Amino acid sequence: MAAISMEPTIRNGEFITIDAFAHLFRSTSHNELVAFANNYTKGKIWVFRVVGLPQETASINNGHVFINDAPLVLPNHLLTNDYSKPNGISGKFTVPGDYYFLLGDNPEFSNDSRFMGAVSKHAGIGFARLASP
């Protein structure tokens, strides 16, 4: 992986596996890692954490992420992250149907849904996870 947006979960240079078929048989859940193609960076695959599902309301307040006005439950190693970002979304954002609100685990260096908005589920390639050596 050649990016820092998902550190410390996935470190620069580590390999990931992408399950390209699982999303055809089950729904996506909060905190899952997804891989998708981005129209702005043709040929590159991006990996982010799903935080907002279709029709949910996402907001960032004092650096914390809220989904439907409830604090987002994040993995322990991400609890100290500050997700506030200048020029990112402000206020509440309703995730459109068939879209996801995605965040990187390294918020200071992640151009995620706070900038590009929600990502279509049709851009998804599959679920991502760190590859075992």
Q: What is the pLDDT of residues 64-110, one digit of tens each?
A: 889 999 998 887 777 777 777 666 666 788 999 999 999 988 888 88
Query: For the chain, how many structural domains are there in total?
Result: 1
Asked whether residue 3 is domain-assigned, the answer is: no
Asked whether residue 2 is domain-assigned, the answer is: no
- pTM reported for the whole predicted model: 0.84
Asked whether residue 5 is domain-assigned, the answer is: no
Asked whether residue 4 is domain-assigned, the answer is: no
CA–CA distance, 59 with 51 (Å, rounded to integer) = 11
The CATH number of whichever domain residue 27 belongs to comes to 2.10.109.10
Asked whether residue 81 is domain-assigned, the answer is: yes
Asked whether residue 8 is domain-assigned, the answer is: no
Q: pLDDT value at position 51?
A: 92
Asked whether residue 123 is domain-assigned, the answer is: yes
CA–CA distance, 82 with 109 (Å, rounded to integer) = 11
Residue 93 domain boundaries: 16-130
